[in-house]
Amino acid sequence: MIPPQDRRSLLRGLGVGLAAAAAPAWAAPKDRKLGYAIVGLGSYATKQIMPQFAQCASSRLVALVSGTPEKLERYGAEYGIPQTHRYSYADYDRIRDNPDIDIVYVILPNSMHAEYTIRAAKAGKHVMCEKPMAVSSAECEAMIAACRAANRLLMIGYRSRFEPYNRLCIKLAKDRLVGPTRIITAEHGFNAQPNQWRLDKPMSGGGSLMDIGIYSLNATRYLTGEEPILVSAVESTDRSDPRFRTVEDRIDWMFRFPSGIVANCVSSYTSPHNRYRIVGDQGWIDMEPATAYQGQTMRINRNNHTEAGPTPPPANQFVGQLDHLSECILTGRQPIVPGEEGLRDLRLIEAIYRSAREGRAISLG
């Protein structure tokens, strides 16, 4: 049993940070809400992101960019976006002339992230870009340089960093609730449906690792607060499966961190996974699902006893993410997940692929 006073102590200091994402304290006046243009009206944009603006304190949806006129018409009408704020890809650079647009949120296939981020920066806009940031670390570097040259902020859509259970896990690991972390296991995967851009390497840049395995990868970094110094990876793909003609199915890897922590990571396009576990010398903290849109569940094992973890103050991870960038712009701060964070992941993704391809451990950093 975690006694009530310990539970309070576990949560102490967490409320402030979490509340900050949605609290009235930093809700800017309505006319200071920053305007987002959504680029790419696919499923994630329309089903997960766009409905969230209604709850945002510092952000509003002001423009749409799509190559499909029917989508512009449908979602434009649904969200009250006037014709003047609807853009085709050919029109895209005209966003520079629209002062209502402060931020461009790039939710396109991975191979288009770099181009549409750089064009947004050149149009004088701040950028939120979905993960993976791009299909290569070179592209990431170009994106960072473009935003820096334009004096605009660049943030990557690592929503789990705004999800309260993940934030609590970071704190509990840092506070050594189960002792110093020794092992992390992180597993992400799903059964990929055929015939989608994710399975087309020119569009996606890679397979399960770029799409879902990146959650395992990023979690090991935010749960340790360290950067890996060694990676060893093994790929397993049935190339006769028509889904995997150009991209990998499973690619699993191990990281070693400077403190000695080892992380075991799963990435799969043919099996369902969404969990991680932080194992210290005195027990473990388990999250399953760990990085889902909702339903996070935490269990804690100490002294050979397992129980439900504490419940953090509720917060909407999507709202937290959207408002964080707005707030950073309003206050002149850097996002907690800037372009450099996406670049680090891409460098590691490249090292994972290289390790699997060359059949050897790769030293990093």
For its own copies (CB under 8 A), the number of binding residues is 41
For residues 234 and 359, give the distance between their C-alpha atoms in angstroms, rounded to a whole number: 8
Among 250, 296, 315, 328, binds its own copies (CB under 8 A): 250
Scanning residues 103 to 142, which ones bind its own copies (CB under 8 A)?
none
Q: Does 236 bind its own copies (CB under 8 A)?
A: yes
Nearer to its own copies, 196 or 232 (CB): 232
> How would you classify the pairing of strands 59-65 and 86-87?
parallel
How many CB atoms are located within 10 Å of the residue 27 CB?
15
- Under the binding rule (CB under 8 A), the answer on residue 182 touching its own copies is yes
Q: Is 304 an interacting residue with respect to its own copies (CB under 8 A)? A: yes
* Paired strand residues for 324: none
Q: Does 361 bind its own copies (CB under 8 A)?
A: yes
Report the SS3 class of residue 74. Answer: helix
Q: Can you state the angle between helices 4-11 and 164-174, rounded to 10 degrees? A: 100
215 is catalytic: yes
DSSP class of 31 = G
The correct pick among 69, 272, 293, 333 for binding its own copies (CB under 8 A) is 272
Stretch of 102-110, 195-203, 336-344, 355-363 lying at the interface with its own copies (CB under 8 A): 355-363
CA distance 77 to 18: 33
Q: If binding is defined by CB under 8 A, does position 233 make contact with its own copies?
A: yes
255 φ, ψ (degrees, to nearest 5): -110, 145
Has 131 been annotated as catalytic?
yes
The rounded Cα 75 to chain-centroid distance in angstroms is: 24
261 binds its own copies (CB under 8 A): yes
Contact between 342 and its own copies by CB under 8 A: the answer reads: no
Structure tokens at 217: 């990868």
* CB-based contact 194:100 (threshold 8 Å): no
Is residue 40 involved in binding its own copies (CB under 8 A)? no
232 binds its own copies, rule: CB under 8 A: yes
Cα 39 versus chain centre, distance: 17
Residue ranges that bind its own copies, judged by CB under 8 A: 179, 182-183, 185, 187, 189, 191, 230, 232-234, 236-238, 250, 252-254, 256, 260-262, 264-266, 268, 270-273, 279-284, 301, 304, 359-361
Q: Which residues are catalytic?
A: 131, 215
